[in-house]
């Protein structure tokens, strides 16, 4: 009788431990919600993974649908993604896996004209990137621009370098295609001229990191520090 009672208590204890483990793991589960046109909020599930087709380059896996779409549409070559190289701002998005340095994939029909179209789409007005982008570095920004490279950062919740952000904002919801949600494609280019989009932010006059708030849809909450201006990056090889 005592043995049976002990076994029952042991089973109950194991069940409690298992439930506790599930609860503790819950915040890491990936939860996505479309909150606007070409705008998705994903919480949890962050992990640095390889970018298919670009050996040695990594990114937060929640950006992969966006990266796939942009590379295909604008014929891009990625020169850098997740990185702690000192050429990038240590408090920027490269150390979070939420930024790309981009040049034309000329071997597959890419051109600076296409890169400029993407820059204009991400930032139609100087210093006013649209969601989900956080900072756009191109013409007019030191170490960026036509003939050098385009920098794109995705917006996110506050995070530490080397650790995936809790929440990220993207164009496509991760896994949406398999759930019958969004499709790859859509969106409108912000312009077709060779002049491209400008980028960069002027430092704020108050405390903190400075910068300005991107032009966002009303459903989009800003819950992170101001964007960080990059002054370098990885240009064409």
3-state secondary structure of 187: coil
pLDDT at 17: 42
**pTM score of the predicted model:** 0.70
Q: The tokens of 167 are what?
A: 């929440």
Percentages helix, strand, coil for the chain, rounded to the nearest 5? 25, 20, 55
Per DSSP, helices labelled H in 78-212 are 112-122
Give how far the C-alpha of residue 159 lies from the chain's centroid of Cα atoms, to the nearest Å. 13
Q: The tokens of 37 are what?
A: 């046109």
pLDDT tens series, the chain, 237 aa: 555 555 555 545 555 444 444 333 334 799 999 999 999 999 999 999 999 999 999 999 999 999 999 999 999 999 999 998 888 888 889 999 999 999 999 999 999 999 999 999 999 988 899 999 999 999 999 889 999 999 999 999 999 999 999 999 999 999 764 343 444 444 455 433 333 333 333 322 222 222 334 444 444 454 444 555 555 555 555
C-beta separation of 233 from 137 below 8 A: yes
Q: Which helix (H) or strand (E) holds 100?
A: strand 99-104
């Amino acid at each position: 009788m005592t043995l049976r009672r002990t076994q029952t208590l042991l089973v109950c204890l194991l069940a409690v431990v298992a439930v506790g483990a599930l609860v503790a793991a819950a915040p890491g589960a990936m939860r996505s919600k479309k909150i606007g046109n070409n705008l998705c909020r994903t919480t949890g599930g962050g992990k640095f993974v390889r970018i298919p087709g670009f050996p040695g380059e990594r990114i937060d896996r929640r950006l992969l649908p966006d990266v796939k779409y942009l590379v295909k549409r604008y014929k891009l070559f990625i020169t850098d993604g997740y990185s702690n190289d000192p050429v990038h701002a240590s408090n920027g998005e490269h150390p979070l896996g939420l930024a790309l340095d981009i040049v034309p994939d000329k071997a597959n029909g890419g051109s600076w004209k296409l890169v400029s179209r993407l820059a204009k789409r991400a930032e139609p007005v100087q210093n006013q990137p649209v969601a989900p982008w956080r900072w756009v570095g191109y013409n007019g920004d030191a170490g960026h621009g036509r003939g050098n490279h385009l920098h794109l950062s995705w917006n996110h919740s506050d995070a530490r370098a080397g650790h995936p952000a809790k929440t990220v904002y993207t164009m496509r919801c991760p896994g949406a295609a398999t759930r019958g949600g969004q499709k790859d494609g859509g969106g409108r280019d912000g312009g077709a001229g060779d002049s491209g989009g400008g980028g960069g932010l002027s430092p704020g006059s108050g405390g903190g990191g400075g910068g300005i708030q991107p032009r966002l849809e009303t459903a989009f909450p800003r819950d992170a520090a101001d964007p960080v201006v990059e002054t370098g990056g990885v240009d064409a090889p």
